[in-house]
Amino acid sequence: MGATNQNLDADVLVIGFGKGGKAVAATMGRLGKRVVLVEKSDRMYGGTCPNVGCVPTKALVHHSRKRRPEDSPQEWYERSVGEVQALTKLFRGGNYDGLNGMDTVTVVTGKAAFTDPHTVGVDTADGHLTITAETILINTGSEPIILDIPGLRASQYTVTSTDLIETTVLPGRLAIVGGGYLGLEFASIYGQFGSQVTVLETAPKILGHLDDDVADVAEGILADEGIEIIAGANVTEIRDGETAATVVYDKDGRQHTLEADAILAATGRAPATRDLALEAAGVRTTERGAVEVDEHLRTSRPHIFALGDVNGGPQFTYISLDDSRIVLDQLIGEGKRSTADRVAIPHTLFITPPLATVGLTEKQARAAGYRVKIASQPVAEIIAMPRAYIVEDTRGVMKFVIDADTDEILGAALLSVDAQEVINTVALAMRHRIKAAELRDAVYQHPTSTEAFNDVLATIVRTDEPKAVGV
């Protein structure tokens, strides 16, 4: 492209190189449609997952667990970060070449902003580009939230998750503000690399959305690994010193302080919509700043769709991929797929061992008025699951919540080795309304983690009457 203004016409314009957008771009390109994909950063081809999300963080989980006591924490960490960055570079290049290598698809690097409902202006290194498209997909993802705590944003010691996984210096003392999934995953990773980790969570306890019996086991595992978790802590100020920061927080009506070499802001991610000039396109956003969409992911402008984190839905790569199926069904299919089709979507907290959940907790099921049966067993006591002993990690618990009237599984929490894999089987069973007895009596490969179902689902411990619902 020249160094001046250029115009480009497309059948489909995708803004943001995330999972959902790239899937639609590739499919439409293969069908011969003229596709343009705009990504503002040359370090984000492929989106959050392969660059700053799932792939590097889970790779760091793997590397952190390989460190032996005799290995220098700093040297091991620096080498691990280098290997992980090489992996993300490989994935990034593959994503770029896979799309830009298609005759019908053009990848443009630059910042995009709407000028009208069908037109986007992009500032690139080679000049300004005006792109007009019949169909537009917004796939810009999300960005870390840094709370407006005095001194936090200004502190030279504050890092986002993206900053932290790219630094080659292992923090001696890491303070994590936020005890959600992101905060706990990073606590587990950096604690294992050798950092002294403190997690500060405002809620009365971590993992409060789970049943207490599961949350308590998870918290115990983290505590046994040396991670300090301070729940009910309200961070009030960050003060920078010459070599470290002081974190000031209130707990139980008293003020406390701790010193930290790095402070990870782990208080969630917000849809990345700020610089898109959505108002110029007439695209509405929600109060949280997400692009407002219907069940088919159409925005207030029917020819504009929003996929992935930016539409305010669950912030998971596999949801973004499913978003692409819904959009493609609108563009080239029967138009029947919708977000309402999603049932029993699992998710996993990648501590070690991982904590995978799907469906309702016991407290949610009771509140909804179900008569429930509970099947629960500590991993160390599951005779049918020798894999946990083989890989030398018998920590954790498996719990199922079952409808006492139908024997269908309402939900499960699996805190165990391989839980991130096994949960998919449970979710599939739930979607197809397979009875708990069928899972219990199935024949599973040995030795695997799935065969734990043979034991755990034979431990029904209680049946309760439902609580009164409504008046």
Is 407's pLDDT higher than 90?
yes
What is the rounded average pLDDT for all residues in the chain? Answer: 94
CB 361 within 8 A of CB 401: yes
DSSP conformation class of 408: B
Q: Which domains does the chain have, with CATH numbers?
A: 6-143+270-341 (3.50.50.60), 158-267 (3.50.50.60), 347-461 (3.30.390.30)
Measured CA to CA, the distance from residue 138 to residue 127 in angstroms comes to: 22
pLDDT band at 463 (very low <50, low <70, confident <90, very high): low
Is the model's pLDDT at 187 over the cut of 60? yes
d(CA 63, CA 49): 18
Would you call 236 exposed, middle or buried from its count of C-beta atoms within 10 A (0-12, 13-18, 19+)?
Answer: middle
Q: Quick check: 187 and 197 in contact, CB under 8 A?
A: yes
Contacts of 43 (CB under 8 A, 6+ apart): 51, 92
Between CA 156 and CA 152 the distance in angstroms is 9
Q: What's the rounded Cα separation, in Å, for the pair 84 and 60?
A: 7
Task: Report whether 291 contacts 285 (CB < 8 A).
Answer: yes
- Tell me the mean pLDDT in the region 311-338: 95
Q: Is the peptide bond before 447 cis (omega within 30 degrees of 0)?
A: yes
**Tokens, residue 118:** 């069908």
- In the chain, % of residues over pLDDT 70: 97
Instruction: Give the DSSP per-residue string, 112-156.
Output: EEEEETTEEEEEETTEEEEEEEEEEEE---EEE-----TTTTT-T
Residues 14 and 31: their CA atoms lie apart, in Å, by 16
Q: Which residues contact 432 (CB under 8 A, 6 or more apart)?
A: none
Average pLDDT over residues 442-466: 86
Average pLDDT value for residue range 354-362: 98
Rg (CA), the chain: 24
Compute the 3-state secondary structure of the chain and give helix, strand, coil in percent, each to the nearest 5: 30, 30, 40
Tell me which amino acid residue 108 is.
V
| β-strands 262-265, 158-159 pairing | parallel
Q: Is the pLDDT of residue 183 over 90?
A: yes
CB 365 within 8 A of CB 351: no
Q: In this predicted structure, what is the pLDDT of residue 461?
A: 66
Q: pLDDT (tens digit, 9 = 90+) per residue, 202-227? A: 999 999 999 999 999 999 999 999 99
**Sheet containing 196-201: which strands, arranged edge to edge?**
158-159, 262-265, 173-177, 196-201, 228-231
Q: What is the pLDDT of residues 416-441, one digit of tens each?
A: 999 999 999 999 999 999 999 999 99
User: Quick count: other Cβ atoms within 10 Å of Cβ 167?
Assistant: 13
Cβ–Cβ under 8 Å, residues 460 and 402: yes
Per DSSP, the chain holds a count of helices (H) and strands (E) of 14, 22
Q: Tell me, what's the pLDDT at 464?
A: 61
* Bridge partners, 349 (sequence order): 355
- List of residues 6+ apart from 269 with CB closer than 8 A: 142, 143, 144, 145, 182, 309, 315
CA distance linking residue 321 with residue 23, whole number of Å: 7
User: Nearest Cα to 306, choosing from 333, 334, 326, 280?
Assistant: 326
Q: Catalytic site residues?
A: 446
Q: Write down the pLDDT at residue 1.
A: 42
Helix (H) or strand (E) holding 322: helix 317-332
pLDDT higher than threshold 80 for residue 467 = no
- Average pLDDT for residues 438-460, to the nearest whole number? 96
- What integer is the mean pLDDT of 237-242? 97
DSSP one-letter code for 90: H
Q: What does the pLDDT look like over 82-100, one tens digit per residue? A: 999 999 999 999 998 999 8
pLDDT tens by residue, 32-56? 999 999 999 888 988 888 888 899 9
Average pLDDT estimate for 257-282: 96
Residue closest to 266 by CA, chosen among 390, 165, 374, 127: 165
* C-alpha–C-alpha distance, residues 85 and 43, integer Å: 11
The per-residue pLDDT for 91 is: 94
DSSP string, 98-120: HHHTSTTEEEEEEEEEEEETTEE
User: Would you give the DSSP letter of residue 308?
Assistant: G
Q: What is the mean pLDDT of residues 391-405?
A: 97
Residue with structure tokens 């580009």? 129
Cα–Cα distance, 203 to 198 (Å, whole number): 15
Picking from 92-96, 344-348, 441-445, which range would have the lowest pLDDT averaged per residue? 92-96
Contact 339, 187 (CB under 8 A): no
For 112-140, what is the mean pLDDT? Answer: 96
Spatial separation of the C-alpha atoms in residues 429 and 409, rounded to whole Å: 8
pLDDT of res. 4: 64
Give the phi and the psi of residue 144 in degrees, each rounded to 5.
-60, 145
Interval 164-177 mean pLDDT:
96
What percent of the chain is predicted at pLDDT more than 90?
Answer: 92
